[in-house]
Amino acid sequence: MPEMCRARVPVGGACAVISDCDDGCFCDGAERCEAGVCVAGVDPCADAVDCTRDSCDEPVRGCWHRPTPALCSDGDACNGAERCDVALGCVPGAALACDDGDDCTTDTCDAATGCASAPRDRDGDGFGDGFCGGTDCLDDPALGGASVAPGRVEVCDNDLDDDCDGLRDFATPACVPTNDACATARVLPGAGSYSASTRGLSDDYALHCPGGFPSGPVTDAVFRVTVPATSDLVVRVHRSGPAYGLPLGMTVRRFDDCATGPELRELACGTSTSLRVRSAPPGDYAILVSGEATGWFDLVVELDAPTTAPPVDVCGAGTLDVSAGGTFRAVRGDLHDDYGLTCNSVTPPMTRADAAYVLTLASPKDVQLDLTPSGALALVSDCAAPASTLACVPDRSGGVSTLFRRSLPAGSYFILAEPNFTGPSGGTLDDFALDVRVSEPTFAPPGDSCSSAALLSPDVPLSTPLDALAFDVGLSCSSPSSMLARDLVYSFTLATAQDVSLRFTTPLGPFFGDSPTLALTSTCGDATGQRSCTFVEGANVLEHTWRSVSAGTWYVVAGTTATTGSVEALLTLAPPTAVPANDDCSGATELVSGTPVLLALASYDDDLSLSCGYGGTPDAVYSFTLPRRQNVALIASPVGGSGLIGLALRSACTTGPDLGCSEAEPSSISTTLDAGTYYVVVEGDVSIPQVRLSPFFTDI
């Protein structure tokens, strides 16, 4: 006690009044005199808050209360740092938010150290998630990730990449399938995605797909799946190994007919294919997949709600009516090859499945048809009569084919569609759709349609803007690498037969150059009146001469890939000159072994189609007769220029089938033929000045 803090009577001594006990100091409290005895004072700075350190300042006669958070700590860093409030005492802290916002980390909290983040390893196998830079290719425990990690042993039938080497199940060389035949078919548990292979199997069912670059023998694998209730059975197969080689082949049969068929769906071929069996009844089904013995693939099985095929296979009273417009879907298994489209000829034995729809208009309308995937589209009055074709758009590369008719008169029509089911990267598509849009009629600007053909006068250039035009008349030929976007119609009248030349100039299209196309016809919109159709690849100017065009009114349908700017046409006339005798089959020129012939393609029309070509280029016809079985070699080379030349060998000139066909630079065919008469068709772009055809016939 400070020297100054001394009372007259110490604590415990006898007192008469309080002043006897008061020592005059603040910090030891106020002394009292009770029952004649001095009693010590109470600490004036003591409070009820446990977490404060209390002190007294005698010189200022005041108290200090210092908060001490350490006195509040519960030792758990995760619930936050507790604090000391001088009025409230210990106050809890805010719990730590340990989520760092990174999906690739696992965030935890330790009572002693607080928040911590570690690379994500959800299945706890000690390998970080591969999506986050780790080495574990499957980290989700719900999908079996706990059994998947680098260094594990590959299990051949669990559809997991157990060892994370990028090869799942049968993609691994150590996994050799045993489903070689119907008797050993691999039983699939139901819908799902499965790894499979043809490695080590044999060729039991001859499901061979054409094309490709074979690197070994073809083998086939068999699968068995149960359809528990009537469903659409959808099967997809995708080559998961190297993309080169033969296409995969796939078909579906009832399992009772596994070895012999019949097929429920025709063989589908491609690196990625699909097919749908509509309303498959309950039971067991066989899926047969063919491929090279070194290949592996993914097989996907789906069971959808049952559907029925729409009535789009043939024209008739029950054909699907699309007059109200809309989108109409079907699959290639619903179709057969029933009709021949005038703009999409197919050489037998090849076929092209087609769909038919009916369109009835009570008054003139604009009609637009879009086919996906692309293919050939025709609008006809009578399915059985090609001469009734009003418009036909040939099959071209691209995602959608479009046919547009402006102010189509009232009446009933049929739409014929031949979808091209060959998808990207050699795959085979199954579904297709026809989109029909019917709208009020619009006015056709000059040159846009047969009814508003732009009149050509000799030696007078005619410029026509493209903006208001549509692709609504269609041409029977076009470059395979360019998608025509606009067509326009010109007309001219001849009093006497003349040579007719047309120079057609277009803006540069969206491709490397354009591929302008011209067709000469006596009956606009009707392919039966067409004299020829021709195009030039990768340019924006096409000049063509038609020899000895007869008197009358003629139409030129021109096509371009350009959509803006203007096109220009220049018509010139000259006295008639003779068409080369071998322009068609009736005047085929006889070939002599070892004697080459020269031909100028610009002098010819396009009369024939080659199985290996795209049409739309002039062709010349030759013939030869073999007295006995001989070796035949034919070589066609460009002279004074370059370009692909089509060369076909056939026994029947007009119809084929081709005994040999080549499109190359130069083109050649070498084969052995029996005694008889044969025909050679040579075709090529008009930009090639001349072609040399060299024939050689030698004894065996």
More confident site: 26 or 475: 26
Report which of residues 400 and 573 the model is more confident about. Answer: 573
- pLDDT higher than threshold 50 for residue 433: yes
DSSP symbols for 368-424: EEEEES-EEEEEES-TT-GGGEEEEE---SSS-EEEEEEEEPSEEEEEEEEE--B-G
Q: Distances from the Cα of 696 to the Cαs of 502, 582, 590, 624, 630, in angstroms? A: 38, 20, 13, 11, 10
In three-state secondary structure terms, 252 is strand
Residue 418's pLDDT band (boundaries 50, 70, 90)?
very high
Q: Would you state the pLDDT for residue 678? A: 95
pLDDT confidence bin for 621, thresholds 50/70/90: very high
In this predicted model, which residue has the larger pLDDT, 96 or 456? Answer: 456
pLDDT (mean) for 541-566: 91
How big is the CA angle at 653 (ends 525 and 341), to the nearest 5 degrees?
Answer: 30
- Paired tokens of 332: 């290639």
pLDDT at 611: 79
Choice between 330 and 158, residue whose per-residue pLDDT is larger: 330
State residue 48's pLDDT score.
82
For residue 97, CA distances in Å to 75, 91, 104, 115 come to 18, 19, 17, 8
Per-residue pLDDT tens over the stretch 646-665: 999 999 998 778 899 998 88
CA angle 175, 291, 424 (to 5 degrees): 115
SS (H, E, C) 299-353: EEEEEECCCCCCCCCCCCCCCCECCCCEEEEEEHHHCECCCCCCCCCCCCCCCCC
Taking 90 as the threshold, does the pLDDT of residue 687 lie above it?
no
In the chain, the percentage of residues whose pLDDT exceeds 90 is 44
Please say if the pLDDT value at position 397 is more than 60: no
State the average pLDDT over residues 537-566: 90
pTM over 0.95: no
Interval 554-613: pLDDT, tens: 999 999 888 889 999 999 999 999 889 999 899 999 999 999 999 988 788 888 888 776
CATH number corresponding to 326-439: 2.60.120.380
- Do 297 and 248 meet the contact criterion of CB atoms below 8 Å apart? yes
**What integer pLDDT is reported at residue 59 of this predicted model?**
86
CA pair distance 3, 325, nearest whole angstrom: 112
Q: How far is CA 220 from CA 178, 247, 395, in A?
A: 11, 12, 33
Mean pLDDT of 148-154: 87
Does 348 have pLDDT greater than 70?
no
**Fold match, 169-304 / 326-439:** yes
Best CA proximity match to 199, nearest among 300, 301, 289? 289
Report the SS3 class of residue 510. coil
Q: Evaluate whether 341 touches 418 at the Cβ level (below 8 Å).
A: yes
Average pLDDT rounded to a whole number, residues 412-422: 92
**Mean pLDDT, residues 216-239:** 93
**Separation CA 183–CA 264 (nearest Å):** 20
How confident is the prediction for the chain on average, in pLDDT? 88
pLDDT in tens, 501-525: 999 999 875 555 678 989 999 988 7
**pLDDT average, residue stretch 233-262:** 87
Domain 450-574 has CATH 3.90.1300.10: no
Q: Which residue has the tokens 């990207």?
A: 424
For 470-494, what is each residue's pLDDT tens digit?
887 877 777 766 677 888 999 999 9
Domain boundaries, the chain: 169-304, 326-439, 450-574, 581-699
Average pLDDT on 240-264 reads 86
Compute the average pLDDT of residues 43-49: 86
What is the pLDDT, as a whole number, of residue 1? 47
Out of 57-66, 115-124, 611-620, 628-637, which region has the weakest mean confidence (pLDDT)? 611-620
- Whole-Å CA distances, 361 to 238, 322, 413, 440, 442: 44, 10, 8, 11, 15
The mean pLDDT value for 97-102 works out to: 86
Contact yes or no for 68/49 (Cβ under 8 A): no
Q: Which sign does the torsion angle of CA 470, 471, 474, 477 carry?
A: positive
Given a cut of 90, is residue 58 above it in pLDDT? no
Of residues 167 and 648, the one with the higher pLDDT is 648
DSSP string, 5-43: ---SS-TTSB-SSGGGT--S-STT---EEETTEEEPPPP
pLDDT at 200 over 90: no
Rounded mean pLDDT, 28-34: 90
Domain 581-699 has CATH 2.60.120.380: yes
pLDDT, average across residues 439-456: 90
- State mean pLDDT over 606-635: 86
What is the rounded CA–CA span in Å between residue 464 and residue 478? 21
Which pLDDT value is given to residue 257? Answer: 96
CATH architecture assignment, domain 169-304: Sandwich (2.60)
Locate 58 and state its tokens. 């005698």
pLDDT band at 326 (very low <50, low <70, confident <90, very high): very high
User: Lowest mean pLDDT: which of 186-195, 300-309, 605-614?
Assistant: 605-614
Banded pLDDT at 160 (limits 50, 70, 90) = confident
Looking at the predicted structure, is the pLDDT value of residue 424 above 80? no
Q: Is the pLDDT of residue 417 over 90?
A: yes
